[in-house]
Amino acid sequence: MTAVTDEDQTDHTQDAVSEDEDGTPAQDEAVKTGDAVDPTEDEPEEPDDEHARGEDRTDSSDSSDSSDAWDDGLIARRVTDAAAAEPVAVVETRGSGAQIAAPLAYDGPLRSRLDALRELVGLSRTRLDSRTLAEASRVLDEAAARRRLSGQHTVVAIAGATGSGKSQLFNTLAGVTISETGVRRPTTAAPIACSWSDGAASLIERLGIPPRLRRRPVQNAEMEAQLRGLVLVDLPDHDSAAVQHREHVDRILDLVDAVIWVVDPEKYADAVLHERYLRPMAGHAEVMFVVLNQIDRLPGEATEQVLDDLRRLLDEDGIALGEYGEPGATVLALSALTGDGVGELRETLGQFVTERQAPGRRISADVDAAAWRLRSVYATGRRTGLSEEARDEFAVRLADAVGATAAGEAAERAWLRNANRACGTPWLRLWRWHQDRLEPPTGRLPLRAQADEEVTARQRVEQAVRTVADRASAGLAPPWAQAVREAAARGSQGLPEALDELAARAGLPPGRPPRPGWWPAAVFAQASMTLLQVVGGLWLVGQIAGFMAPNLGVPVLLMVVGIIGGPLVEWSCRMAARGPARRYGMEAERRLREAAAGCGRARVLDPVAAELLRYREVREQYGRVLGVEAGVR
């Protein structure tokens, strides 16, 4: 980084040497003849403006003809013989030596906040539009640009309304007439920079101020020591009728480290100043000076009354006042014309520059302003996220859509039918076999065979997705809520078909349900009862046919035992089968519910949770930007 140096000067009227772009030295005519050029009219240079560029080398003895020779279209102060001894401004020169200024270093908390803001912008680019993130991106760019430049200098702009006397105050602080003053309005047409020390060229170039509008103050050891490191910029009037002037003001106010607002007793309450500048910049109070100029026009105690009213207006603007040692804006009263109070401003400004904290404070205030603009996006004040209750409700809705409850009940009935087949009496089994021929095979349940059931199930799935999306997006800013809903909608595509496939795989297994260990004993007991009935019956038939001796007691007893024992065994087995059948049905229902919940989680909940996690990370970064490590609500 190349720094700007000055040629040594032995007195206030010594010739200032400058270099053209090709490196050829040239004397500045304005300085040589004692004329302090005010290059405030930023107009196109005509071929006859060699005097402003230092290319015309007229002798000082021709100063008597300067009235005829000076016609370069710029506002110039013609020095008379009586004013020949006045100090003149020295044009900032580019000497042969290069001075490297140490770059700016931010402290740890500010670096952490900038890193968090950078992370926040990166995470939010795909969710928020560029206009929402424009201010945060600008702050990051300006912070990076300012960090690469000199940390030994503080750039302070003097801003004010038409006729407030800011240019006169600028000249008074510099100790020499640099910026033109007068009754012509607007007087200052382009920003002018004045640097009290070398090494500020890059900072001034960042402001877009050309070399011909850069000056050095009068050489004064005490003043240079007091204001060393100061770069003072005189801005055009912020209420100028020329749009270009207001654009200069708005552009440079975004780049300087601090600003001195100059107001006068007549326009200190101007709505344009307060509504357009002071109120929006209320967070920059620590790098702001508010100077009440022209107090020489106020009689008696009127100065204190105007100051009190000015402080009241600043308080209404939200600007903290640096009174009683508290951080905030500095409010002073002075007269640039008489010099009353200028010494206090110079001393306060010198202490302010010596601390070298203004650039960091300005960037920190910019970060605060950018974070405040994003507050509606990240600090909604409402609890966000997807609760366990909402997740469980979504799983229940999906389970209902695939008929998990009906599947469990069907599994239970299938288990009971198998138990009845194994343990029932032969006569009842024969009847049930006839009925089973009219029903689907055991173990294969058509959960949604009907077209209307399929439509109903699809509607249930869509309703479940909409509900969980609304629950998840509740409390989010519109862009993030839309992102959550879109993630849920993408996951819902093909979800009914996937649930159907899972229901087929996770439903009842093919074939018969498993049998418990007591079934063989029950089957043997039922077979015994049947055998007793058969033996008793054959015995009676034999007696009737005469093949066997008459004896009704034993065969009748066998038949009664078999007839009563068969249903009794069947009833006992049915009672014993209720528990296993219920467990079997619940297991089938559980498998189907878990399958449906897993499918919904993979397709809908996980994408939604990813969006919410991203939002939570952004909110954590936003909390770091605000300096609140625990995040924001």
* Per-residue model confidence (pLDDT) at position 518: 66
The pair of structure tokens assigned to 435 is: 């009925």
Please give the full DSSP string across 259-324, using - where no structure is assigned: EEEEE-TTTTT-HHIIIIIITTTGGGGGGEEEEE--GGGS-TTHHHHHHHHHHHHHHHTTPPB--T
Q: Are 9 and 33 in contact (CB under 8 A)?
A: no
Q: State the pTM of this model.
A: 0.66
At 157, list the tokens: 């702009």
* DSSP-derived 3-state class of residue 15: coil
What pLDDT shows up at residue 447? 43
Q: How many CB atoms lie within 10 A of CB 108?
A: 7
Residues with Cβ within 8 Å of 141's Cβ and at least 6 positions away in sequence, in order, are none
- pLDDT, position 206: 93
Could you tell me if residue 334 is left (phi over 0), alpha (psi between -120 and 50 degrees) or otherwise beta?
A: beta
Buried b (16+ CB within 10 A) or exposed e, 392-420: eebbbbbbbbbbbeebbbbbbebbbbbbb
Are 184 and 383 contacting, i.e. CB atoms less than 8 angstroms apart? no
Contacts (Cβ under 8 Å, ≥6 apart) of 51: 29, 30, 58, 69, 70, 72
The Cα 67–Cα 63 span in angstroms is: 8
Tokens standing for residue 186: 């607007």
The Cα 411–Cα 405 span in angstroms is 10
**632: CB partners within 8 A, 6+ apart:** 378, 379, 619, 622, 623, 626
How many helices (H) does the chain have, and how many strands (E)?
23, 12
Distance CA 347, CA 406 (A): 87
Angle at 618 (CA atoms; ends 602, 465), nearest 5 degrees: 30
Run means of pLDDT, 10 residues per run, the chain, 633 residues:
36 34 35 36 37 35 35 31 43 47 85 93 87 92 93 94 90 81 60 91 93 84 84 91 89 95 93 93 94 92 93 94 86 93 93 93 94 85 79 87 78 73 66 67 46 67 89 85 90 82 65 64 76 80 77 78 76 74 81 86 90 89 81 56
Phi, psi (5° rounding) for residue 333?
Answer: -125, 135
Quick check: helix, strand or coil at residue 44? coil
Instruction: Please name which of 572, 552, 563, 554 lies closest in space to residue 529, comparing C-alpha atoms.
Output: 563
The alpha carbons of the chain give a radius of gyration, in whole angstroms, of: 46
Please give the pLDDT value at position 452. 52
Nearest to 210 by CA among 58, 40, 30: 40
pLDDT for 367 equals 95
Dump pLDDT digits (tens) for 390-428: 888 888 888 888 877 777 777 777 777 776 666 666 666
CB 495 within 8 A of CB 461: yes
